[in-house]
Amino acid sequence: MKLAGKKVGFAMTGSFCTFSTTIPKIKQIVDEGAEVVPIMSFNAYNLDTKFGKAKEFIEEIEDITKKKIIHTIPDAEPIRT
């Protein structure tokens, strides 16, 4: 798939057990030249679990994408296709 120059919304929800395999996919998409807009549900953004701390996931995703994560309804409302 050719992703260079594309804008990709990447949403993460409360499937915490998948974060360790999902975050590298975000990096792969960025490395292929796409602009990734990170989006997280309330739980994904706020809850610490046995799979990791929310703050650490947030920092890693924002570091990879160079964008703040959209995690509230008001922040998501301006998203257009």
**Residue 79, CA distances (Å) to 33, 51, 59, 72, 74 in order:** 21, 29, 22, 12, 10
Number of domains in the chain: 1
In a domain, 21, yes or no: yes
The token pair at 39 is 């989006």
- Report pLDDT digits (tens) over 30-68: 999 999 999 999 999 999 999 999 999 999 999 999 999
**Residue 26 — pLDDT band, cuts 50, 70, 90?**
very high
In a domain, 50, yes or no: yes
CATH code at 15?
A: 3.40.50.1950
Domain that holds residue 50: 7-76
